Chain A
Amino acid sequence: MSGVTTFLTRRRGGRFWHWTDIVSWLWLVGGLVIMFGPAVWLVGSSFKTPAQLAEFPPTILPYVSQQASVEGHDKPLTLYRVKQADGSTKVMAEVRRIGIVAQMVDPKAPKDIIKVNIADRQPVREIGFATGNYTEPFVHFDFMRYLRNSVFVTAMATLITLLTNSMAAFALSKYKFRGRDLTMLLIVGTLMVPLSVILVPLYSVVSAVGLLDSLWGVILPTVATPTGVFLLRQYMLTIPDELLDAARMDNASEWQIYWRIVLPLAAPALAVLAIFSVVWRWNDFLWPLVVLSRKELYTLQVGLNTYAGQLNVQWHYILAMTVVTMIPVVLVFVFLQRYITSGIAGTGLK
């Protein structure tokens, strides 16, 4: 027995468990629960019916009340397990409820209505998923439109960011011209100009150029990211100039050099920027909130916040739509997390 324990607790390097190892593992497992737990709880809750969401204490898994159609009633009736006078239980269907007394029938003998105190019964439930939470918001609310708007904003902003940032980075890394250092300084200097500092004047500028209440008004102010220019320029500096000169010898135009040589070689950096940009634009909240006032133009984030801010919050829909909003980011996390972490570790930028 002691041999097994020794084997299980043996560590690499031949040392035995130190108290710091136990603390470390507790911290990591605790971290796993705290970091993923809330999201898992959200997904679980999003499959519950409104009645179940209002219950306390909440159940971990989603349940659905069983229903049955009973002769003489048009709608299916909810089934309950009723405790009877002799202590046995019996499954019955509820016809209607008045105060604390429910009128119930035995599905096998639908004629006789029996009065039951609601304290003496429990709904018959099975694990089930209220998938309507996911399908109904797309039909009854504007969530399909919000989703489309978010996809449009994210895709367009990312494409324009990649194009304009890489062009600027190309000029700043491969040409010598007057004012180059000044331009670079200007870009890096505004790296730290946050949206909240220029919120009011930016709004007036966007309204002056006629982009208020349009998705382009959401897209354009975000695309000239200093982070992107900086990241791409640092990468392009590592591409040898000799390669460009060789292409010039072969009569390639400057545009062709940019398009056919530098862009393909900068693909890894472009990929990192693309991933960043998708996450940024998908998650943007304050700026779309300010610039969009027509409801049909809302992005998912703004739409979610609006529905969640109403007096009578329909949590079953909100939770499901929160999960939908989370999906692209979870996909990025599962498949592309590596690129982001290496991007951050390399540049210290987010």
Chain B
Amino acid sequence: MTAVATLKTWTGAALAAPVVWLASIVNVPLKWWQRATGTGGMAAFFLAPNMAIFGIFVLVPLVINFFYSATSGTAYFLQDRTYVGLEQYQRLLDCGNYLDTATCREDLFWKAVHNTGLFVLVQVALLTVVSMITALILNREIVGRSFWRAVFFFPVLLSPVVTGLIWRWILQRQGLLNLIVHDLGGDPYNWLTDRFWAFTAAVSVSVWAHMGFYTLILLAGLQAIPRDLYEAAEMDGTKPARGFWRITLPLLMPNLLVVIVLALIRAVQIFDEVYVLTGGGPGTSTLYLTQYIYEIGFASLLRNPGLASAASILMGLVLVVLTLLQLQVGRRGERKGARE
């Protein structure tokens, strides 16, 4: 054994020693517990830490959210708040015409709803098409497939703050995009202060950041399609385009649906990278639902946690519908898989 390897072994042992010691100490009272309660008690012991944390920080908030949305005031403790019934929901849904935010009492909420709706439609469509094309190309006989797969996966790991800042830097007045525009003979432009371009940037950046994830799922689906199907089709003189519509797409449908529903669920909650990129601006043109909840709940001067909570429950309902859809889709995919 080389000196380095010996050193490594010893350091490893030294670091592990306290952990091993701790585990053996824990073993003593646990033996008592096991003798007193049997394996049933042990199951409870193993579940306890996770379920306690889970209960306190997920289940309890989930339940009290409903009470929260039925109260008003700026206090955060439930007992300091006044019960108002469904008033917060009435306030949110009070609208002359749902398509015209100016007629709504909470016009900012509806602005966020409209923005999110448009964002979800465009982003999910673009994301699905781009991921699909990339997956199809990665599924061809190309040299260095795992390298190329990694290339498209890289932005998925970046933090939303880093993603937002990278693109803010590129899209600013002295940025890379304006350098390209300048070299092509155009005039530099403040992209993020323009409503249309800010929206385009929000969509493109989120597609850039997430497409690698969906490409992976689609690629896994493509690789599960048996090769001999294509060989048989080729022998019958089927054109590749026809092969795509008749073989690839139908067999990939379960994966494609999962991708679309997952992308929908994520897009509805879009926040971090767009918030860092545009801050919701210019004006309110890239203000989305999660940012609305955050600002009404915590950040704005007109703080109203009850209203934010009611808005989050409405958003939650949409997500529940989408999740049920996903389970349905997943189950159908499984059944289909079992049949083949």
Q: How far is the CA of A258 from the CA of B56 in the complex (A)?
A: 25
Q: Pull 7 A–B residue pairs with CB atoms less than 8 Å apart, ordered by A.
A: A38-B166, A190-B54, A203-B298, A255-B23, A255-B27, A301-B159, A329-B162
> Binary interface profile of B, 112-142, with partner A (CB < 8 Å = 1, else 0)?
0000000000000000000001100100111
Within 8 A of B (CB), among A6-60: 12-13, 20, 24, 27-28, 31-32, 34-36, 38-39, 41-42, 45, 53-58
Given contacts A167-B49, A345-B216, contact A325 B162 (CB under 8 A): yes
Contacts of B289 in A (CB 8 A): 196
A200-B308, A337-B157 given. 19 additional CB < 8 A pairs?
A: A41-B176, A57-B182, A167-B50, A192-B326, A196-B290, A196-B312, A198-B65, A201-B68, A204-B77, A207-B77, A226-B54, A253-B30, A253-B34, A255-B42, A256-B27, A285-B272, A308-B276, A309-B279, A322-B161
Given contacts A27-B133, A285-B160, contact A57 B179 (CB under 8 A): yes
Interchain CB contact under 8 A, B169 and A332 = no
> Binary interface profile of A, 50-84, with partner B (CB < 8 Å = 1, else 0)?
00011111100000000000000000000000000
Which of B3-11, B95-103, B144-152, B190-198 faces chain A?
A: B144-152
Which of A94-102, A108-116, A128-136, A170-178 faces chain B?
A: A170-178
Contacts of B285 in A (CB 8 A): none
Q: How far is the CA of A146 from the CA of B148 in the complex (A)?
A: 34
Q: How far is the CA of A340 from the CA of B150 in the complex (A)?
A: 10
Q: How far is the CA of A286 from the CA of B309 in the complex (A)?
A: 16
Q: How far is the CA of A308 from the CA of B176 in the complex (A)?
A: 18
Chain A CB within 8 A of B220 CB: yes
Contacts of A180 in B (CB 8 A): 43
Q: How far is the CA of A90 from the CA of B308 in the complex (A)?
A: 66
B76 CB contact (under 8 Å) in A196, A203, A282: A203
Contacts of B84 in A (CB 8 A): none
* Majority secondary structure, B binding face: helix
Chain B CB within 8 A of A341 CB: yes
Q: Quote the shortest CB–CB distance from B35 to chain A (angstroms).
A: 9
Given contacts A255-B30, A348-B217, contact A305 B161 (CB under 8 A): yes
Chain B CB within 8 A of A164 CB: yes
Chain B CB within 8 A of A294 CB: no
Q: Quote the shortest CB–CB distance from B310 to chain A (angstroms).
A: 10
Contacts of A92 in B (CB 8 A): none
Interface centre among B23, B61, B158 (most CB of A within 10 A): B61
Chain B CB within 8 A of A104 CB: no
Residue of B nearest to A204 (CB): B76
Residue of B nearest to A304 (CB): B161
Contacts of A286 in B (CB 8 A): 271-272, 290, 294
> Binary interface profile of B, 26-41, with partner A (CB < 8 Å = 1, else 0)?
1100110010000110
Contacts of A329 in B (CB 8 A): 157-159, 162
Q: Quote the shortest CB–CB distance from B155 to chain A (angstroms).
A: 6
Chain B CB within 8 A of A224 CB: yes
Chain A CB within 8 A of B168 CB: yes
Q: Quote the shortest CB–CB distance from B291 to chain A (angstroms).
A: 9
Residue of A nearest to B312 (CB): A197
Residue of B nearest to A46 (CB): B169
Interchain CB contact under 8 A, A56 and B76 = no
Interchain CB contact under 8 A, A279 and B157 = yes
Interchain CB contact under 8 A, A201 and B175 = no
Q: Quote the shortest CB–CB distance from A195 to chain B (angstroms).
A: 8
Interchain CB contact under 8 A, A167 and B47 = yes
Q: How far is the CA of A13 from the CA of B279 in the complex (A)?
A: 53
Contacts of B293 in A (CB 8 A): 196, 199-200
Chain B CB within 8 A of A208 CB: yes
Contacts of A36 in B (CB 8 A): 151, 154
B319 CB contact (under 8 Å) in A192, A290, A325: A192
Q: How far is the CA of A39 from the CA of B162 in the complex (A)?
A: 9
Q: How far is the CA of A36 from the CA of B173 in the complex (A)?
A: 21
